[in-house]
Amino acid sequence: MAEAERIIGTPGFEGAEPEPAEEREEAAADSGAAKGVRRIGVLALVAAVAYALDLISKTIVVNVLEHRAAVQVVGDLLTFEVIRNAGAAFGMGEALTIVFTIIAATVIVVIARIARKLYSVPWAIALGMLLGGALGNLTDRIFRAPGVLEGAVVDFIAPKGFAVFNLADSAIVCGGILIVILSFRGLDPDGTVHRD
């Protein structure tokens, strides 16, 4: 009788009381929610670091270098030179500043939507870099001259023979490259891996 009592209610044995489906679903949801919170935390941390580095670097170079001669960092291969860029990369589209502002805001909204189903750390890092970079340049568009939504972005990193850019641009490019790599490897933002 004691043997029978031990078996009853023990999972895996005939006669055991099954765990209700609702409880299993709730446990899975709780596990997924905790997992998602951790990944969103990674995204937020990476975005905050990228944004802070961009904002601090721009503040320093504007105060120290604007309206002055370029500073050589690595001979003439790399200089720091403050340039106000109303357009996109390479100075293109200077008449479309408001369009670029709307695009940056849209990118931020899309990342926020993806974050709800984010279970992958590499994707969290990639999206965090994109978010931090987009916020950095959007801050310039909103708060810098000539006016709200038309502000010129501060660029200052000038490699020889290449466009002048900033740390926000670097974060966006690195995040984009990582997303391409993750996509080729078949890793989705929700943590699933698929092979085509």
Running DSSP on this structure, what letter comes out for residue 95?
G
Domain residues for the domain of 75 are 20-184
* Residue range 54-75: mean pLDDT, rounded: 94
Residue at 34 is within a domain: yes
Tokens of 105: 């805001």
Instruction: Determine which one of 54, 155, 190, 196 is catalytic.
Output: 155
Residue at 108 is within a domain: yes
* Residue range 21-32: mean pLDDT, rounded: 50
pLDDT digits (tens, 9 = 90+) for 154-167: 999 999 999 899 99
Burial of 49 (0-12, 13-18, 19+ CB in 10 A): middle
**How many Cα atoms sit within 13 Å of 117 on the Cβ side?**
8
pLDDT digits (tens, 9 = 90+) for 74-112: 998 999 999 998 866 555 556 567 777 888 889 999 999
CA gap 139, 123 in Å, rounded: 24
* 2, amino acid identity: A
Residue at 12 is within a domain: no
CA gap 159, 73 in Å, rounded: 10
Residue at 189 is within a domain: no
**Counted domains in the chain:** 1
Decide if 188 is catalytic: no
80 backbone φψ class: left, alpha, beta (φ>0; ψ -120 to 50): beta
Decide if 169 is catalytic: yes
Share of the chain above pLDDT 70, in %: 74
How high is the pLDDT of residue 181? 97
